[in-house]
Amino acid sequence: MAENIGFVSTRFAGTDGVSMEASKWARVLEQEGHRCFWYAGRLDRPAESSLCVPEAFFNHPENAWINERVWGKTARTPLLSRRIRELSGYLKETLYGFMRSFDIDILVLENVLAIPMHIPLGLAVTELMSETHTPAIGHHHDFYWERTRFSVNAVNDYLDMAFPPRDHDLQHAVINQAGQEELARRKSLASMVIPNVLDFENPPSPVDAYASDVRAEIGLAPGDKMILQPTRIIPRKGIGHAINLVQMLGNPRYKLVVSHEAGDEGVEYKEMLAGFAKRSGVDIRFIATRLAETRGINAEGKKTFTLWDVYPHADFVTYPSMYEGFGNAFLEAVYFRKPILVNRYDVFTRDIEPRGFRVPIIEGYLTPGVVEEVRRLIEDPGHRRTMVEHNFRIAGRYYSYAVLRRGLMTMIANVRGLTT
């Protein structure tokens, strides 16, 4: 039976993990005949199937005012409590309007009940479910207890109530085993692990004319080797390891290309990396000004590319993260049939590595053996082809849309009280 499914979050726009994974869920659900609608504070979805409520965005001034006063504090004022309740009440009314406008049958709550970036919205959704008994799926990407910034706060009562709530009509989906275990331990809630996925049934298209000059546009010469670091510039991404790797490879033709901009830490970390690379004799290219969500022209009048335009041109991918909720860049490298170096972060060790992927792995430091394996993967086409084809097959078995489809159909049946 076709359902009207309402996706709810603070933002569905751009290339952040929540927006991208929500789009994949919607694509699979629509292939099964369901209709998807969108509610958020920032949206790039079709206007005819969405409701944008600016106050629902986590960076809206009112919510920013609240966040400044609840994190790192241990008590809140009556004024703060009142403003949280008032914003929550307003958002709840807009959620009712969203459900009426699109005749919503099932809600999919994208991280809004897991990470408390917008406490009033989490409270509004929780109360809405209590009042309407609307069947819902909570898609939890990361929880507040995983982030140090939320450990000292003045809203423990709200966190207990709504992040996530214990609601009979709410099914929970997490993206890794650790999330499943901690949700059970902390909240006594059962959940299903639905990993992040890519469309491995449909491999990427060949490079088209627009993206054919990516290497030249970022200043690489024909004989250069592109070592791609496809992440934001933040400390937990471990980019220093990528610089060490290129230094130890010792070939001036190997260029380290970092795709994204600096994160909340600002420019200091980026400047530190640039200095470290210079002292190490590593040619590092920061290409964030040449990357965008869509193709176009930047402020300097130069072409912009998407990350997926860049991947096909990489000779090797570095992913030395210290922590990841899942690891989308790992799946992307496998999808584009690129060899990849991984730092053994927890979720990779528990959820991904046991599937049988073959990749060079470090555990916080580089060894000569790992460096030689990387060199062989770059220089030996036959060895590289064997490894990337093996990884593509493994990913197709465990991280494809078919896997997502099975999980979603089970959850839809569960929230509707049907048998699978």
Q: How many domains does the chain have?
A: 2
> Do the beta carbons of residue 281 and residue 251 sit within 8 Å?
no
Q: Which pair of structure tokens corresponds to residue 237?
A: 């991404």
- Rounded to the nearest 5 degrees, what angle is found at the Cα of 92, between the Cα atoms of 90 and 97? 100
C-alpha span between 392 and 330 (Å, rounded): 11
Alpha helices in 54-162 (DSSP H): 61-70, 78-102, 119-132, 156-162
* Strand, helix or coil for residue 171: strand
User: Which among 74, 169, 79, 153 has a CA at the least distance from the CA of 116?
Assistant: 153
Q: What pLDDT shows up at residue 350?
A: 94
204, part of any domain: no
Phi, psi of 101 (to 5 degrees): -60, -40
159, part of any domain: yes
Residues 276, 392 within the same domain: yes
C-alpha span between 181 and 172 (Å, rounded): 12
Alpha helices in 133-176 (DSSP H): 156-162
Residues 46, 131 within the same domain: yes
Cα torsion for 311, 316, 321, 324, to the nearest 10°?
A: 40
Residue 253 DSSP one-character state: T
Residues 224, 294 within the same domain: yes
Query: Can you give the CATH number for the domain in which 108 is found?
Result: 3.40.50.2000
Residues 266, 193 within the same domain: no
Ordered per-residue pLDDT tens for the chain, 420 residues: 889 999 999 999 987 889 999 999 999 999 999 999 999 999 999 999 999 999 999 999 999 999 999 999 999 999 999 999 999 999 999 999 999 999 999 999 999 999 999 999 999 999 999 999 999 999 999 999 998 899 999 999 999 999 999 999 999 999 999 999 999 999 999 999 999 999 999 999 999 999 999 999 999 999 999 999 999 898 989 999 999 999 999 999 999 999 988 765 558 889 999 999 999 999 999 999 999 888 999 989 999 999 999 999 999 999 999 988 888 999 999 999 999 999 999 999 999 999 999 999 999 999 999 999 999 999 999 999 999 999 999 999 999 999 999 999 999 999 887 544
104, part of any domain: yes
- Give every CB contact of residue 229 below 8 A, 6+ residues apart in sequence: 237, 239, 242, 256, 257, 258, 259, 317, 318, 319
> Do the beta carbons of residue 238 and residue 273 sit within 8 Å?
no
Q: What pLDDT shows up at residue 17?
A: 84
Q: What pLDDT shows up at residue 325?
A: 84
Q: What pLDDT shows up at residue 419?
A: 41
CA atoms within 13 A on the CB side of 320: 23
The dihedral through the CA atoms of 313, 317, 318, 324 has a sign that is: positive
163, part of any domain: yes
Residues 409, 378 within the same domain: no
101, part of any domain: yes
- Please provide the DSSP assignment of 186-226 as one string: HH----EE------TTSPPPPP-TGGGGHHHHTT--TT-EE
Residues 274, 137 within the same domain: no
Q: What pLDDT shows up at residue 214?
A: 96
Phi, psi of 98 (to 5 degrees): -60, -45
Neighbouring C-beta atoms of residue 208, cutoff 10 Å:
8
Residue 296 DSSP one-character state: E
- Please provide the DSSP assignment of 311-360 as one string: GGG-SEEEE--S--SS-HHHHHHHHTT--EEEE--HHIIIIIGGG-----
Residue whose token pair is 């005012």: 65
| Angstrom distances, CA of residue 74 to CA of 65, 152, 155, 156 | 16, 7, 8, 9
203, part of any domain: no
Q: What pLDDT shows up at residue 327?
A: 87
420, part of any domain: no
Residues 62, 143 within the same domain: yes
The dihedral through the CA atoms of 94, 99, 101, 106 has a sign that is: positive
Return the biggest CA–CA distance within the chain.
67
Residues 379, 405 within the same domain: no
Domain hosting residue 32, numbered range = 4-197+401-415
Residues 387, 407 within the same domain: no
Residues 357, 376 within the same domain: yes
